[in-house]
Amino acid sequence: MSTKSQVIAALYQYLFKPLAFALDPELVHDLITTIGESLENLPRLVSFLFSYSRPDLKKTVLGTEFANPVGLAAGFDYDGHLAKVLPAVGFGFNTVGTVTARSYAGNPAPRLGRLPKSKSLLVNKGFKSEGADKVAHRLDQKQLSFGTLGISVGSSNLPEVNSIDKAISDYLYTFNVFKTRPYVKYFELNISCPNTAMPESFVASQNFKLLVQAVKKEKITQPIFIKMPNEISFADSDKLVEVALENGISGFIFSNLVKNRNNPGFDKTEIARFEKFKGNFSGRPTFVNSNSLIIHTRKKFGSRVAIIGCGGIFSPKDARKKLSAGADLVQLITGMIYQGPQLPAQICETL
């Protein structure tokens, strides 16, 4: 690890984290968002502090160029406030969202919780979003000139969006808001949020087929990555991959959060304390399944698919494990919260 990364990591572990972890997680997230956004006009300073670049880290995947293979996953920058500063922090790509057509204030609190022994976070946001138009307007104002930005698209978590047809129209609305914006370099199609009120699921292949057929008709030019569930059998995952490929979509992200609280990645006493709280979990408990799905999908579909490995990356070694399992790129959130903002640079230094 470079001296710069070591200093940032030490400051984070011994100074910032003890303070931040004593406060409510959502409050800390809001504070970081405000501070981060205020630094967007100082990209040189932010880059100097955090970023690491090397020409050979550049990668082109599905025709899109990434400055390095380490991205910020959906769920940290919901409404695009940090879109301008994140490339300077050293992320090779950053996803905004999940964005939904209509605004939603989020599920009742608590929406976030920390499980440090399990290296995990409880997530119960339920597609908190300011809505596609407002987010697009914000991003337009930012005059984004560098970085590779993507939009994660979901369907509005509202009682009236209660059928497959309505949810599909809702997804399409958001795609249409963003598809003509030149700064949008890729999309994520989120079919795997486990915290929404929608009675039916797009993980069922017949519903997924209707969705991707509808998306295909929109003639979207940016690559689309399907955000896959974590707890899915190889057979069910294969069905979704095949349906996506038949409809011209060849990008996949393995994967989203875990629901099963008996996952062996949890510290048993710690998870028991969350018995009364709704939500799903990120971080270490997602690691094993995500890696198995990457290995399986790469083996079965070869170069027909592009894969982003996501879930439980806390170190350069974890990232390399996903890349050697067959991922083209990786994404993270929870690792950065536990280890510090130098993590993307730290990973890139070792690639």
Q: Who's near 130: CB < 8 A, 6+ residues apart?
A: 78, 79, 103, 138
What size, in residues, is the chain?
351
Cβ 97 to ligand FMN shortest distance, Å: 6
Nearer to ligand FMN, 247 or 282 (CB): 282
Cβ 120 to ligand FMN shortest distance, Å: 8
Residue 263 near residue 285 (C-beta atoms within 8 A): yes
Cβ 314 to ligand FMN shortest distance, Å: 8
Residue 214 near residue 172 (C-beta atoms within 8 A): yes
Nearer to ligand FMN, 263 or 286 (CB): 286
Nearer to ligand FMN, 43 or 190 (CB): 190
Nearer to ligand FMN, 46 or 313 (CB): 313
Nearer to ligand FMN, 43 or 187 (CB): 187
Residue 237's nearest CA partner among 334, 307, 284 is 307
Nearer to ligand FMN, 107 or 247 (CB): 107
Cβ 110 to ligand FMN shortest distance, Å: 12
Cβ 280 to ligand FMN shortest distance, Å: 8
Paired residues of 189 in beta bridges = 153, 226
Secondary structure of 30-83 in HEC code, one letter for each residue = HHHHHHHHHCCCCHHHHHHHHCCCCHHHCEEECCEEECCCEEEEEEEECCCCCC
Nearer to ligand FMN, 41 or 278 (CB): 278
Give the number of other Cβ atoms within 10 Å of residue 169's Cβ.
14
What does the binding site for ligand FMN look like in residue numbers (CB under 6 A)? 73-75, 98, 112, 121, 123, 125, 152, 190, 193, 227, 256-257, 282-283, 286, 310-313, 332-335
Query: What kind and span of H or E run contains 270?
Result: helix 268-272
Cα separation, 159 vs 94, in Å, equals: 30
Query: What kind and span of H or E run contains 308?
Result: strand 306-310
Cα separation, 284 vs 258, in Å, equals: 10
Cβ 125 to ligand FMN shortest distance, Å: 5
**Through-space distance between the first and last CA atoms of the chain, rounded to whole angstroms:** 12
Nearer to ligand FMN, 43 or 279 (CB): 279
Cβ 331 to ligand FMN shortest distance, Å: 7
Cα separation, 174 vs 150, in Å, equals: 13
Cβ 253 to ligand FMN shortest distance, Å: 7
Nearest residue to the partner ligand FMN, using Cβ: 75
